[in-house]
């Protein structure tokens, strides 16, 4: 189940997002609207939830979050965009910082 998060996630939302993968949460973050979609087995599902919710593709960045270690992994096929980012990993330090800030605010 994909959860769209706009404020700090509740324990119930965290549990829902962890159901699929147990130890980490796949997330997509809209850095302009400052919202996050999390859960499911693929970043793609989170990205689609944000697009359906009104986000623009160029504002969405994907990562994985491990609540137990607070580790963020900035790698996903969603991030591979020749005009913006030539890697599965988020290369731009400013974008990484924005993604991290939103993840930590809502899930950390």
Q: What percent of the chain has pLDDT over 90?
A: 97
C-alpha span between 67 and 71 (Å, rounded):
7
Could you tell me the two tokens for 43? 């970043």
Could you tell me the residue ranges of all domains in the chain? 3-106
Strand-pairing partners, residue 27, are 38, 63
Indicate the pTM of the whole model.
Answer: 0.95
What pLDDT, in 10s, does the model give residues 34-48?
Answer: 999 999 999 999 999
User: Shortest CA distance to 103 belongs to which of 1, 45, 24?
Assistant: 24
The confidence score (pLDDT) of residue 1 equals 84
Tens-digit pLDDT profile for residues 45-72:
999 999 999 999 999 999 999 999 999 9
């Amino acid at each position: 189940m994909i959860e769209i998060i706009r404020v700090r996630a509740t324990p119930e939302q965290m549990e829902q997002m962890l159901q699929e993968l147990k130890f980490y949460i796949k997330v997509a973050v809209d850095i302009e609207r400052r919202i996050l979609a999390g859960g499911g087995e693929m970043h793609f599902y989170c990205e689609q939830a944000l697009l359906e919710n009104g986000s623009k593709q160029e504002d969405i960045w994907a990562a994985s979050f491990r609540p137990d270690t607070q580790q963020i992994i900035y790698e996903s096929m969603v991030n591979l965009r020749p005009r913006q980012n030539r890697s599965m990993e988020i290369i731009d330090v400013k974008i990484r910082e924005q993604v991290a800030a939103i993840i930590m605010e809502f899930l950390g």
